[in-house]
Each structure stands twice: as structure tokens, then as C-alpha cells.
Structure 1
Amino acid sequence: DHTDLQHVMVYYNARSDIVTKLDKTIAMQLAPWAQSFMGSVVQNESAANRGDDPASRIRHLDRRQGKLENI
């Protein structure tokens, strides 16, 4: 029952503890994903350090065409 703000304050006060615990728990699992985006943006593949390496591509699903496209 949240008709009384006193109960909401329990959640509000607990949130920093939860964030700290979540950070500790998932940081190492998310680190590889975060690091994959630590590169630099280039205008085209010829300007990229690994432009000839297909594994260096970042892809997304183009929902209109229903296929993966390079970003």
C-alpha cells in the first residue's frame, strides 16, 4: 500500500545501496560490451584502424529490411 509517503521513502533511501550492489554484481559482465564501444567514429571504413577486419563492425537490426546492417 503506497497511500502513505513514509513507505515510499523506504524505497528512496534504499536505492543507493541497491545501485552499489548492482554495480558490483554486473560490472564485470557488462565491461566487455562497454569496451566494444570505446573506439572512435570514422566517416568510412577506409579511415578505420581495422577497416579491413569484418569482426570490427558494430551492427544493428534494420527492422524495415529485416536484416543486420553495419553502423
Structure 2
Amino acid sequence: MEDICIANLSNPSHAEALVFLLNEYAKDDMGGNTELPDFAKENLAAELQKRQGAHVIIGSVPKLCCKD
């Protein structure tokens, strides 16, 4: 069964899932065929947490995400 959750980016597994998913998109043709820079990977979750209007929703199988 799949789970959908509002990510808590202070939770390392949620932050890691966000970076993983965005990096996979970036590596695809639609994302430009290039991995995210290391700086982006290292700072993305922390910088998004600073923005009031940023919301991240993650859908996954329970084993990979959404367990606090």
C-alpha cells in the first residue's frame, strides 16, 4: 500500500527523499540530463524550511517514507 504525507523536512528521511526525487528528475531528459549540484543537494531541504509558502508532499511505499 502507498502512503502520502506532508514532508517534515527536519526529518532526515523526508529531506533525503526530497533530494533523491528531485535529483532523479534532474538526471532525466525532462530535467536537463544533469545531476543537481552538490551544493543544491546539501542545502535544498534546509533552505525550503525557511520559506513559509513551501510545502512538500511525498508519496511512497510505507517502507521508504512517512514514518516519523
Q: Which TM class, normalised by the smaller chain length? A: under 0.3
Higher Rg of the two aligned structures: 1
Higher helix share: 1
Q: TM-score, normalised by structure 2?
A: 0.26
